[in-house]
Chains A and B, each alone.
Chain A
Amino acid sequence: MRNLIFHILLFLILWSCSTPENVKYSHELPPVYPDYIDVVIPVNIAPLNFLLRNDPEKMVVVIKGTNDSIVVAGNQKIAIPLKKWKALLIREQGQSLKITVKARLNGEWIQYQPFTWEVVSDSIDPYLSYRLIEPGYEVWNKIQMVERNVESFGERVLADNNLTDGSCMNCHIHGNQDAALSMFHLRGKNGGTILNKDGKLRKINTRTNGMISNAVYGNFHPSGRYAVFSTNIIIPEFHAYRSERLEVYDTASDLVVLDFDQDKSITQPFLSDTATFESFPVFSADGKWIYYCAAPTVSLPDSIKSLKYNVLKVGFDAEKGTIGSQVDTVWNARQMNGSVCHLKTSPDGTFLLYTVADYGTFPIWHREAELQLMNLKTGEIDLLKGVNGPNSDSYHSWSSNSCWFVFASKRDDGIYGKPYFCYIDAGGKAHKPFVLPQSDPASYDFMLKSFNIPELSKGPAPFDAEDIERIFWKQEAEQVK
């Protein structure tokens, strides 16, 4: 009896996996979600599981390389076996994988036009941290800082506001994409800027006398000793028109460099005057320059649409710990008729990646906000037409090899941001981006969180949520002078 059941089951399994017959050929590409059609992927990425939007009864996907292939079957979605996938990518690096999708719809098998995944040997940094938050307005609920291994589906929580009295937390950034150097701000009564240096956590009160606020947007100096920050008085306002949502602007903003070794702040009078708003500062890859966004002050909110940020740069001497006095314009907002924010220099010093919106300083709710890539050596600007989506693309971060960058894109629905990876080849060409793969590709459909401020790093952060809980409640903040 047992034998009979076993054989029936075996037959059913084999029958269900058998090759579809009487297949009709379609000239169309399959309706895959996420959009993984003809993308370039790094050799170390997790399986690109996807689903079909036309709700098939069954689907069979053949992922074929020059040397090997994987066949995966599913109903509306597929889950590619991790081990086979990794082995395939390693064997096929430098090659293209051909993906053929067959789907059974209303009892009829259809084979769609195949598409490709080009596997490049340039790896992406394997860890991605982001903030998971509801894309709200003023009120926040549960916020988590999460670290995801992009080579698998492993995820762990780095900080959870459930453990820190509901405090807001933001902007987890690494220095040199190094896991041993990172920081983020934890707000609230027991908050401070949490600095991770070689796994040792410090809580720092970054606000000194004369500063208009605590440190807000920041970036590490390549040495790890300094970080440059903007200090901002941030005001949210709400649009009445159609899909326009939230406008956030500064009524005052300045720049400051913090020396973490000596716990002191460094600035220049012209970086804290009231005639100019300064924001989103970053160091150049060699640490000799500070790039930042700056706009002449205007009456707000009335003149919000004429608030346009330029890209400026000023010298920085790491030896002496001084900021220069000569300011150069890198990107002229008036000439370019836009407003820049979120500057990020590539680790190899070649590129400056930034977001351009029509106006203002908060592009995540600007549908027109797009990424642009400036070659710092030639001054040439790539508008990244093949990269930008119909909605806001912003908050980007480089991989340590400068071949990849990740950015938060709201292209799917205009509200919920997701991390997209984009490849820059040796010729400087940017390729079509793809979204962070999930073990269940349908999870994006039901997820009510935005992936905020994605940041790549070479290794896992040496702390977890409990460490943050401890430092929040039990450690006094060190005061910057």
Chain B
Amino acid sequence: MKIGKMVTDAAPASSSRSKLINEKGFFSRLTDRTSESRGKLLIYGSALLMIVAVTAITLFLTVQGLRSFVVDRLNFWTFITGTEWFPDRAENPSFGAFPFIFGSMAVTFLAALIATPIAIGTAIFMAEIAKKWGAKIMQPVIEILVGIPSVVYGLIGLSIIVPFMRQHFGGTGFNLITGAIVVGIMILPTVASIAADSIRAVPDSLRQASYAIGATKWQTIWRVVIPAAGSSLLTAIILGMSRAFGEALAVQMVIGNVGKIPTSILDPSATLTTIITLSMGHTTTGSLLNDALWSLGLILLLISYVFIVIIRFIGKRGEKR
């Protein structure tokens, strides 16, 4: 009895010591409910997976995209500047991707041109003029619009905008500006929602300062709030542009898909994404056309990276001010 008691007395002392000094290894700690290791594993693992995925996609696309130049001996320069895209010609097929690069750029910039003024106007209305109404009704509506699948926008473009263009401007109605309008409407909610957030982020003290020096509401919005939100507004626009740049389906449904450089905004055209989605299905892996499409994909990725770098750069500059 006595000995047994002595032993139980001694036990707590040693276990309290082991609580302070953790001698368990990483994996045995995973079974311990109170340990941080599980959370660490989950978070570090997620981050690692993300990095691996991005790197893998980039690497895979690079390897596949370079095949047409390395294996098939296409000239890189003539590939990106060439204007003739005749991959199916039995004799002397030509791969000039410039019409698609041009088409993508044109759709992106025209879409931004259409969407920006309306989006910023909506954002100002939501964040500065009808604050309650904006937050309660418009913000949710816009978030729903962001979530509508692009095919729906394409369908609306196909059944409303295409006939409208055909009636009023002639031609088939499938053309560059129709594509830009559809994509412009599609990116509108994205840009408006981010722009509204950036306007809301402008500190109230600046608005007060402006009113206190006898500014009207309009002067306050235009000369104080918008400039103060400046760089994040630009980020919103570029984010919208990168979305426009990557859009395939909605554009493909209305742009006409002609691999030539359009001479006017009413000419049918094609983009990097539309030509990939249209052609990829009927090529065989390893064929020349298949490789060429991968190269288009690589170009798409690189330009998307440029957009991200621009956003980062603007964000940094905005922080410094």
The answer to whether A and B come from one shared complex is: no
